[in-house]
Structure 1
């Protein structure tokens, strides 16, 4: 059950959103007309309108339209805002007229605003006669206000709804992504097998040899040395197992969240790594996983290929998406078809996200990942 303060807060936000929608009509119209020469401005104004509709009018969060869709949305928004202004004006005129009639009936004074220029022209009988029509007009005015809010929500949803061609493209993209994900899973399995075979298994074999020698060693001093080496080798095996399990899925990510996992990743990175984490609450686990492994792969690429001396990692939320940005000061020229970046893009695309790579020759390289989080 919603409390009275919460209802009051929502009502105040809705009123503010409605009035702001009326006030931004000139800005919406200007941004729609400026789309051919200033598309970034159009996209920015569409983002502002999306914030107004979702945060003030209480419409469920959705993505902001971009490009031609943003221009069309703002044009529709300008028309809706004009209708909203007319409805608001009519409601205001009705309230003023009702107040004037009550004032004239209670005081007997002239009320020129309702064409009662002589004292005593407005009586309670007059008020009673217009009461029913006034109530009907009041009801219609409220419905008009609600209709404008619904039209605002409809215009936003319609502007981000994919068309038939986009749906077909999306199906094809999902089919390709599914095949890519299967391939990535197989590659990960082979990598884990190599890690276990070349690392852990070899150390286990070495440990078994040491234990066999220790069992056959009659000399106490030599046996103590073999025992010490066996204990050291056991520690190496545990370290190898932790390293393999961390690369598969770090326990810290599931237990403590993305922030703690990225801090640990920054500490483990040999390059100086600065982390700027701006999320106020935890994102869904699949989103955290996608962002973490994208950051890990981007940092690995920076260490192996870019010759970077420092790395910056930033995480923030922009409406319905979590944005991860990894920047290094290396030589640039990242290969987008390489196994690492291609796998990262596939993982992000499988989450309905996007990835952009800005890596001009000479650097720097900036990888931006955006993952929807609802």
Structure 2
């Protein structure tokens, strides 16, 4: 029983999408006509059609065709819309004829719409004779409607499918990205090793020396002071380990999600940091990881190099994309090719995402990441 309302909603959405497809034929033709002089307008019409097909007809497609492909898609779409209008018209005519026959048989009245101009011409026998061919025609009409929907899905998928040149470019990009990811991973391992060696290890050595002095010290007051210093040093070690673990992969990100991890990051940032989080559900873990480390790296750069006084972090959903934007009011001049940002760009590119750094001299610096979320 619980699936019935959902099925009815899907059917209603599909019918609405079909009818809307018939009505948008003039818009599709207009998009084709303006393609040579107004490509963005054509792309916009194609995006509207993608929304209709994905949201109402339930066809998965994360992107809309663009450029020449958008014009070709709209041409096919217009033809399918016209075919759909014809099929819909025939189905409507069949429904009207069936209703007229039943009305004439039940009342004995004349039904001119089916060429029965005299009363009593339509009887139940007449209805019984046309039931079988009517049922066959109804079945064919429904199949025509389904066929148009399937053709719509095929046209959209075909128009966004990459060509051989694009596939070759994609393979080259993935090969480069894979090499970059390996380099980034090696750099991260070396950084973690330095953090452990220069930070945690040195403090552990200092703690062991303090504990040795505690064992050798005979003066109770002096021993108590050394013990307090050892306890303080233990706290520093725990802080260092916690800091290293957050840089590797914060447990809060895996456990509680991106929102909680960014809130904790904002709380740990020494500069005033505002967080605007607009996602209503959790994104896939790789997307959350890419967004978190982008924010962490951008905030670290702002603290170390920009002279910023405030930082703003925003996360929102834009269709199939999750967009993260980090803005600081510092001096600007950030280098997108720098080690930290380049590593983040590689991580994002591996997920088919994009990263932009807008940092004019004098600021502000805005780092924007967009990652597909399915």
Normalising by structure 2, report the TM-score.
0.93
Give the direction of change, closer, same or farther, for the CA distance of 1:89–1:126 in structure 2 (3 Å limit): same
In structure 1, the residue matched to 2:257 is: 257
Q: Distance in 1 between matches of 2:199 and 2:82?
A: 70
Report SS of the residue matched to 1:120: coil
Tell me by how many angstroms 1:109 deviates. 1.8
Q: Distance in 1 between matches of 2:306 and 2:72?
A: 42
Q: Please say if 1:20 is aligned against 2:11.
A: no
CA contact (8 A) 2:334 2:365 kept: yes
Q: Please say if 1:75 is aligned against 2:75.
A: yes
Mapping 1:68-217, distance limit 5 Å: 68-217=68-217
In structure 2, the residue matched to 1:345 is: 345
Give the direction of change, closer, same or farther, for the CA distance of 1:38–1:136 in structure 2 (3 Å limit): same
Tell me by how many angstroms 1:225 deviates. 1.2
Instruction: Give the stretch that moved more between structures: 150-159 or 29-38.
Output: 29-38
Instruction: Give the stretch that moved more between structures: 57-66 or 258-267.
Output: 57-66
Tell me by how many angstroms 1:161 deviates. 1.1
Tell me by how many angstroms 1:73 deviates. 2.5
Give the direction of change, closer, same or farther, for the CA distance of 1:240–1:214 in structure 2 (3 Å limit): same
Tell me by how many angstroms 1:36 deviates. 4.6
Q: Distance in 1 between matches of 2:305 and 2:92?
A: 67
For structure 2, the residue ranges without an aligned partner over 5 or more in a row are none
Q: Distance in 1 between matches of 2:84 and 2:229?
A: 81
In structure 2, the residue matched to 1:368 is: 368
CA contact (8 A) 1:63 1:319 kept: no
Q: Once the two structures are superposed, what CA deviation does each residue of 1:88-139 show, in whole Å capped at 9, x if it has no partner?
A: 1111111111111221222222222223233233333433333333222211
In structure 1, the residue matched to 2:304 is: 304
In structure 2, the residue matched to 1:221 is: 221
Mapping 1:235-314, distance limit 5 Å: 235-314=235-314
In structure 1, the residue matched to 2:332 is: 332
Q: Distance in 2 between matches of 1:364 and 1:89?
A: 58
Q: Distance in 2 between matches of 1:192 and 1:110?
A: 90
Tell me by how many angstroms 1:39 deviates. 4.1
Report SS of the residue matched to 2:188: helix
Q: Distance in 2 between matches of 1:259 and 1:43?
A: 34
Q: Once the two structures are superposed, what CA deviation does each residue of 1:149-171 show, in whole Å capped at 9, x if it has no partner?
A: 11111122112211111111111
Instruction: Give the stretch that moved more between structures: 355-364 or 262-271.
Output: 355-364
Tell me by how many angstroms 1:239 deviates. 0.5
CA contact (8 A) 1:325 1:367 kept: yes
Give the direction of change, closer, same or farther, for the CA distance of 1:70–1:368 in structure 2 (3 Å limit): farther
For structure 1, the residue ranges without an aligned partner over 5 or more in a row are none
Give the direction of change, closer, same or farther, for the CA distance of 1:256–1:8 in structure 2 (3 Å limit): same
Q: Distance in 2 between matches of 1:34 and 1:312?
A: 41
Give the direction of change, closer, same or farther, for the CA distance of 1:363–1:151 in structure 2 (3 Å limit): farther
Give the direction of change, closer, same or farther, for the CA distance of 1:116–1:152 in structure 2 (3 Å limit): same
Q: Distance in 1 between matches of 2:282 and 2:52?
A: 24
CA contact (8 A) 1:326 1:368 kept: yes
Give the direction of change, closer, same or farther, for the CA distance of 1:205–1:350 in structure 2 (3 Å limit): same
Q: Distance in 2 between matches of 1:175 and 1:256?
A: 33
Give the direction of change, closer, same or farther, for the CA distance of 1:45–1:273 in structure 2 (3 Å limit): farther
Report SS of the residue matched to 1:355: strand
Normalising by structure 1, report the TM-score.
0.93
Tell me by how many angstroms 1:37 deviates. 4.6
Report SS of the residue matched to 1:317: strand
Instruction: Give the stretch that moved more between structures: 45-54 or 264-273.
Output: 45-54
In structure 1, the residue matched to 2:34 is: 34
Report SS of the residue matched to 2:225: helix
CA contact (8 A) 2:61 2:157 kept: no
